[in-house]
Amino acid sequence: MKLSTIVVDDQPHAIELLTDYIQKTPFLQLSSTFTNPVDALHFVSQHSVDLIFLDIEMPELTGIEFMNILDGKCKIILTTAHIQYAVQGFDFNAIDYLSKPIAFERFLKAAQKALNTAFSPTLSPQTISSKDKIEDILFVKTEKKGKLQKIALNDIYYIEGESNYVSIYTESDRIPTLLNIKDLEDQLPKGQFFRVHKSYIVSLSKINSIEKSHVVLKKPARDIHIPLGLTYKDNFFSLLQDSIISRKH
């Protein structure tokens, strides 16, 4: 499944850059680009559009005025050279803002947010386990230049942060990525993953048991012991509290 996407920006070089980024991103489909926001509004009224990359400062209509007219019909990622204006955009539930000049890694993070919001606004246990629902996926930038790796969230056991990169561990693979652990934590659904240590995020569904200072993940070959950091312990046990069944006397 791809997000139908348009770009609205009065600067042709900005459109060129975003077009290139969209074409590099497997889950985005570029439908059209516009230098005139009025034309873009007409297009949206006639076509199905999931996501708009929207400049804030434009002569015919500002991005804020554009969103006011659009009235929540599409998801918006703001693009601007003036960050102070982006705050207004969040009053219209903009997904994110990208500060010009836009780096591809930052673009990808914002696009991933839009994907997660479009297809996984909340993750109940039924959503996670159902074969009939759309597959929950993550695209990550790997060590191979220009390559994005698709990973099913249900395949992830844990994530380990290294000094300059992050490794994602599935049942049989280790996938090194050009991300930092905080950015990846922000992209993952909160009800499915939890950061238990400054260097580790675990999949809650893969936890087999919890010890004093470790969580134990059950893998076919062997159990994996992940440290449970002191600063994360209270929040972790608060999250689990509703799942703990105690014997009543």
Do the beta carbons of residue 179 and residue 159 sit within 8 Å? no
Q: Count CB neighbours of 203 within 10 A.
A: 21
* 63 vs 30, more confident: 30
5: burial class by Cβ within 10 Å (0-12, 13-18, 19+)? Answer: buried
What is the Cα–Cα distance from 180 to 25, expressed in whole angstroms? 19
What pTM was computed for the model? 0.56
Q: Which pLDDT tens digit goes with each residue over 91-124?
A: 667 888 888 889 998 899 889 888 887 654 333 3
pLDDT at 91: 61
Q: Give the pair of three-digit tokens for residue 144.
A: 């191979």
* 19 vs 181, more confident: 19
If you average pLDDT over every residue of the chain, what do you get?
A: 82
DSSP secondary structure string for all residues of 214-228:
EEEEE-SS-EEEEE-
Ranges of each domain in the chain: 3-119, 126-243
Q: Which pLDDT tens digit goes with each residue over 50-94?
A: 999 999 889 888 888 898 898 888 999 999 876 655 556 656 678
Q: Give the pair of three-digit tokens for residue 240.
A: 């689990």
Q: Which pLDDT tens digit goes with each residue over 178-218?
A: 888 888 888 888 778 999 999 999 999 899 888 878 999 98
> Cβ contacts of residue 137 below 8 Å, gap of 6+?
27, 115, 150, 151, 152, 153
pLDDT at 119: 55
Longest dimension (CA), the chain: 72
**Architecture of the structural domain at 3-119:** 3-Layer(aba) Sandwich (3.40)
pLDDT at 105: 87
What is the Cα–Cα distance from 33 to 18, expressed in whole angstroms? 10
**pLDDT at residue 46 is higher than 70:** yes
pLDDT at 86: 54
Strand partners, 200: 160, 197
Residues of 29-57 as b/e, b for ≥16 C-beta within 10 angstroms? ebbebbbebeebbebbeeeebbbbbbbbe
What is the Cα–Cα distance from 76 to 54, expressed in whole angstroms? 7
Average of pLDDT values for 160-167? 85
What is the Cα–Cα distance from 134 to 125, expressed in whole angstroms? 14
pLDDT band at 139 (very low <50, low <70, confident <90, very high): confident
Domain 126-243 falls under CATH 3.90.1640.10: no
